[in-house]
Amino acid sequence: MSKEQRKEFIQSLPLADLHRHFDGSIRPETLWELSEKYYSAVPGLDYEQFRHYLQWDDSLDNTLLDYLDKFHVPLQYTQFYDNIRRISYELAEDAYNDGIRLLELRINPLIHRRAGLTNRQVLAATRKGFSTFGKEHPDFKVGIIVIAMRNHGGNMARILLREVLGEREDFHNGVGVIGFDIAGHEAPFPPVLFKDAYDLATKMGLKKTAHAGESEGAERIWEALDYLGPDRIGHGTSAGNDAALIKRLADDGVMLEVCLTSNVQTGAIDKLENHPLPKFLDAGVKVALCTDNPTVSSTTLSREYELAMEAFGLSENDVRELARMSCSGTFLSGGCHFQIPENT
């Protein structure tokens, strides 16, 4: 199958993205427009130079810290209700134009409050943008996953959960909060610190995922499973080195949210060909193929599927099954609202 044939085939499928971050998915042109509005652009920079601060550059960037640096500039513009609402609408539009019909968007409200917004106002602005797009495109469904940052600690995670309770999906006619996540530097902040927060999320009726095993070893995934009881694991790349853990994931039905391009860029794997995705699939581990940060990684979900086909020789039937499995893992209350064509 040629590259064009692969692209055409993937474009024929409805897709689900279960792991996409708000601040890593904003259109560079929107941020440039806002920079001109607030600062008459950035002194000394043109648009192409500005983009370097937002997007990975293979010739200049090498480490996880380089990757994380890309999130600093967008935060200047995501402190205002109307900007968040606009960006959320555009995020939905970009996803829809890439063939995505089910999106789970994760956001940490605390980092968007520097101009005085509350956590609930940040989420309300996000819901508003998504809801507006959803009314225009009723075949598109979206939910919000709230992130607590590891470095903020377990107490702040519980406070955040209590504050956003009123934004839960079932309290609104349409878009709302469907899940809870932790993200950030793994090494100094083990999962056990967030056990009480995850217990609270369970009592609140939220589904649970957790970033684990991206920058640290398989022990962090074991700990997340034992202490947090997640339905899904974000990345989980290091599980590829632990056969017993792979079996546990398969036996317990815990889904991995796999993001190929970002895993290479952050150094979770050394090169795409060594990604454990085929190992996970062969072992019966549930997998959702996701984007992570489309702007930072300069990718799309359809491109991630193309990479999977190119690197691992996945067939059309393999891709259909992967797309079907990805959608089945959603936290949305109505489940997957579309069907992938049957395998041939």
- Catalytic residue numbers read 214
Residues in the chain: 344
DSSP secondary structure of 23-43: TTS--HHHHHHHHHHHHSS-T
d(CA 3, CA 270): 24
Q: At what angle do helices 301-312 and 3-11 cross, to 10 degrees?
A: 130
Per DSSP, helices labelled H in the chain are 3-11, 28-39, 47-52, 64-69, 81-97, 119-136, 153-163, 195-203, 218-228, 243-252, 260-265, 277-282, 294-297, 301-312, 316-328
d(CA 275, CA 283): 14
Residue 333, CA atoms < 13 Å, CB-side half-sphere: 13
Sign of CA dihedral 126, 71, 193, 233: positive
Residue with tokens 């550059």: 57
